[in-house]
Amino acid sequence: MNLDDYSYDLPPDLIAQEPAPTRDSSRLMVLERDGGTQHLLFRDLPSLLRENDVVVVNDTRVFPARLIGRRENSGGEAEIFLLTPRGDGRWNALCRPAKRLRTGGRVVFGDGSLIAEIIEKGADGHVAVQFKSEGDLDSAIERFGRTPLPPYISRDPIPSDRERYQTVYAENRGAVAAPTAGLHFTPQILEKLKANGILVARVTLHVGIGTFRPLNETEAQGTALHEEYCVVPESTVLALQECRKRGGRIVAVGTTTSRALETASQNSGFAPFTGRTDIFIKPPYRFRSVDILVTNFHLPRSSLLMMVSAFIGRERILSAYAEAVRQRYRFYSYGDAMILFGENS
């Protein structure tokens, strides 16, 4: 596994800094099973699917995980980026400036009704914090937190990001990054799928900050990846089993949905799953549960680029990315989408 084999050249101006004017006006590159390519709009998606297919979406909800406050002792600016809850008002987080925030130090937000105390320090800015809030902690985080836009979006979040950096079916709060392939869906597309006899099923995978981080060579050789909490409910398992029986296809919306489904897949079918997954999907992995994959364009040298390469082949995916650059597609979270038809589609 050579990370240089999963790299490509991308002009910086193709990294989308804003969402498309409307969700379904994003472009959609279609990589067909026979090797052909089409260039459509995302609103054309229902016409590419068939009655009896099942579309599986990730209904995680992004919360405003980025908190900007002031150090209590000096008044200097400090950032606490929330990662995972530990219970009783404690969170695992990243902090900046890491060297100036010591154990016992406190960060005050807004009017002082929310305070975070550093209770543990780890490497590379990782900390554990204990919150004290006036009233409900989740409400305070919603009030003072900012939308956690990814690092390649080089602007501060604005109020509209709270809605646009969120799928229209987001329900279960817990992600610090959006499942971006789902950002293109509209209520109208979901209704069109239903009218065409296509079921929409749900999983939950709380996307973590590891999704943005390029891998190093050691990690690329490993068999496990950063953990994320996911739920594949019994209702979705039953829908997938029925889909297989009637000859329908399983359409995963995003790499996060694919990760959840592959975690829950067995050699003989599917089983409900609740817990943390560290599955690392990379070539020569063979997918058990996904026939068609809807996805955005991913960072070079990333685990997500490896996953889509495992689905449709490294050479084909890199060729498609080169074509996307030539055609001036928009890349990454607020960018355009692809739909990949696998060998079983």
Give per-residue pLDDT as tens, 94-148: 999 988 899 999 999 999 999 999 999 999 899 999 999 999 999 999 999 999 9
Place of tokens 């937000």: 109
- Buried/exposed code over 239-253 (b: 16+ C-beta within 10 A; e: otherwise): bbeebbeeebbbbbb
Q: What is the reported pTM?
A: 0.94
Whether 3-62+162-341 and 66-146 share one fold: the answer is: no
The pair of structure tokens assigned to 71 is: 């150090």
Amino acid at site 214:
P
CATH number of 3-62+162-341: 3.40.1780.10
Per-residue pLDDT for 184 more than 80? yes
Per-residue pLDDT for 2 more than 90? no
Give the whole-angstrom CA distance, residue 79 versus residue 87.
Answer: 21
Q: What is the DSSP letter of 345?
A: -
**Domain coordinates in residue numbering, the chain:** 3-62+162-341, 66-146
Place of tokens 């589609």: 345
What confidence score (pLDDT) does residue 23 get?
A: 98
CATH number of 66-146: 2.40.10.240
